[in-house]
Amino acid sequence: MNETLLARLERLEALYSEQEYTVQALNDVVASQDREITNLTLGIERLKEQLKALRAETSSGISSEIEKPPHY
């Protein structure tokens, strides 16, 4: 091979190596964000259940109708 082609090939190999590293780093970030989103979604579901339970507890003793204040 002539020197120019060999230099170009080495440059392409270096670029490929850098891209491979970047893709792996991005994959790690995406996987981490996926785990975080899953945890946050589970937390939201738990909060929804707690809110339902709280509403059920408080609504049993309170009238469901909203009364107007006496000055209306």
Span 44-48, average pLDDT: 97
Span 31-59, average pLDDT: 95
Phi then psi for residue 35, to 5 deg, are -65, -40
Question: What pLDDT sits at residue 59?
Answer: 77
pTM of the model: 0.62
Query: Is residue 41 over pLDDT 90?
Result: yes
47-56, pLDDT tens digit by residue?
999 999 999 8
Q: How many DSSP H helices and E strands does the chain contain?
A: 1, 0
- Counting Cα atoms < 13 Å in the Cβ hemisphere of 46 gives 6
